[in-house]
Amino acid sequence: MSATVTEAIDRSVADRTTQTRFAKVVRSLRWFVALVIWGLIAASLLLRFTVQDQYHRLAVLYYLTPLPTLPFLFFMAGCLWGAPVDVKPARFQMTRRRLSLIASLVCALWVVRSEIVVRAAPPGEAESTVVFWNTAHLGRSVDDLAEKLMSWQPAVIGLVEAEGYYPKTVAKWRKALPDYQIAPTHFGGLLAVKGTIVRQMNHKLTPCSWCDQFDLIVGSDSFTLLLVDISANLNLPRNQPLRDLADLARSLDDRPLIIMGDFNTPDDSPLLNPLRKTCQQAFRERGSGYAATWPMPFPVLTLDQVWFNRQVNVSRCDAHWSVYSDHRPLVSSVSFLREPDARATAE
């Protein structure tokens, strides 16, 4: 009997020792993960308030920690920072946890203030609806996508990753959108217009980024549209293709100009400053709702963008929700500033 009791006591002591060791390992692991998250947050904030993505080697970290992810990172760090449940936390541990949760709330308010826009749309006259959408290499059928596009009654549809380099796919688009003139691009994009495509030109935005220029007539309006696809390769810098695009936009500033595309660059990037000299970002100027467009269903980056120059008026720009792609479609209402009649000017 004595031997049995002793054996039971030894097992109990061994079990407690194992549990204590396991608790220490778990606590150390939680603290390590929390410290890694804190380091990631600190580096992200430092980049956000200094160089952002101007230096290519640091841009990856900037893109991986967009503003909407910071509240979640702070919250996760706060949950991990304390001791395990069976260990009474010290006062300083609870203080750090509370600070993390407070920081999470502050960042959430920051996201609401900068990424969510509430704006009433002014009534527009003689407006055309312009849609841009990255269709993610046709994760859904052309017919499903066309039905969704037609629900917005657009005059112009710009698509990237629409498999426009395959003749069979282009034929499907023509069948699904019979009232539109269809123009595929060599980089897989596609433009559909309820009007006339006067001219199409290819521009390469080095390295490995693309832009097609379309001179269009829709109703009584003539304008130029640039359909853009900036490379998503993180090994390639984005400053040169975006500078090339800004130079192209500047050369076309003598006419109404709309630029739409997947920029694969957050719209708050300083790399877009050259483009801002001649154009405005439609959603930031006239949008309403949540700005981020990728990745669905929880978008955190505003990669899909529509820009316009001073000869175009955008009364509204909406980022819609759809399960048909990992990108949100952008629907804009636009009109064009008309040149004053020469006889009226003379009088």
How far is 271 from 47, CA to CA, in rounded Å?
14
Per-residue pLDDT band for 268 (boundaries 50, 70, 90) equals very high
Per-residue pLDDT band for 344 (boundaries 50, 70, 90) equals very low
Which pLDDT value is given to residue 217?
97
Q: Taking residues 234-257, what's their average pLDDT?
A: 95
Q: What are phi and psi of 215, to 5 degrees?
A: -95, 120
* pLDDT top residue among 252 and 92: 252
Q: Describe the chain by its helix, strand, coil percentages, rounded to 5.
A: 40, 25, 35
Which pLDDT value is given to residue 101?
83
Task: Evaluate if residue 11 carries a pLDDT over 70.
Answer: no
Q: Mean pLDDT of all residues in the chain?
A: 87
Q: Taking residues 273-301, what's their average pLDDT?
A: 95
Task: Evaluate if residue 169 carries a pLDDT over 90.
Answer: yes
Q: Taking residues 241-254, what's their average pLDDT?
A: 96
Q: Taking residues 29-33, what's their average pLDDT?
A: 86
DSSP β-bridge partners for residue 304: 262
Q: Taking residues 123-130, what's their average pLDDT?
A: 78
* pLDDT top residue among 96 and 330: 330
Which pLDDT value is given to residue 62?
93
Residue 229: closest CA among 133, 108, 97, 118: 133
Pairing, β 257-262 against β 221-229: parallel
% the chain with pLDDT above 90: 69
Task: Evaluate if residue 256 carries a pLDDT over 80.
Answer: yes
Per-residue pLDDT band for 345 (boundaries 50, 70, 90) equals very low
Contacts of residue 295, Cβ cutoff 8 Å, sequence gap at least 6 = 301, 326, 327
Contacts of residue 17, Cβ cutoff 8 Å, sequence gap at least 6 = none
% the chain with pLDDT above 70: 86
Which pLDDT value is given to residue 340?
47
How far is 249 from 337, CA to CA, in rounded Å?
18
The answer to whether 287 and 318 are in contact (CB under 8 A) is yes
Task: Evaluate if residue 104 carries a pLDDT over 80.
Answer: yes
Give pTM, 2 decimals.
0.88
Which pLDDT value is given to residue 19?
61
Per-residue pLDDT band for 99 (boundaries 50, 70, 90) equals confident
How far is 10 from 32, CA to CA, in rounded Å?
33
DSSP β-bridge partners for residue 261: 228, 305
**Which of these ranges, 15-24, 229-238, 262-271, 277-286, has the smallest mean pLDDT?**
15-24
Task: Evaluate if residue 138 carries a pLDDT over 60.
Answer: yes
Per-residue pLDDT band for 14 (boundaries 50, 70, 90) equals low
Per-residue burial over 323-336, b if 16 or more Cβ lie within 10 Å, else e, is ebbbbbbbbbbbbb
Q: Taking residues 262-288, what's their average pLDDT?
A: 95
How far is 326 from 134, CA to CA, in rounded Å?
8
Per-residue pLDDT band for 261 (boundaries 50, 70, 90) equals very high
Per-residue pLDDT band for 100 (boundaries 50, 70, 90) equals confident
- Residues written for the chain: 347
**Which of these ranges, 119-123, 145-149, 248-252, has the smallest mean pLDDT?**
119-123
Per-residue pLDDT band for 276 (boundaries 50, 70, 90) equals very high
Task: Evaluate if residue 3 carries a pLDDT over 70.
Answer: no
| Token representation of residue 80 | 């991990």
The vertex-75 CA angle with 71 and 78, nearest 5°, equals 140
Per-residue pLDDT band for 156 (boundaries 50, 70, 90) equals very high
How far is 185 from 163, CA to CA, in rounded Å?
9
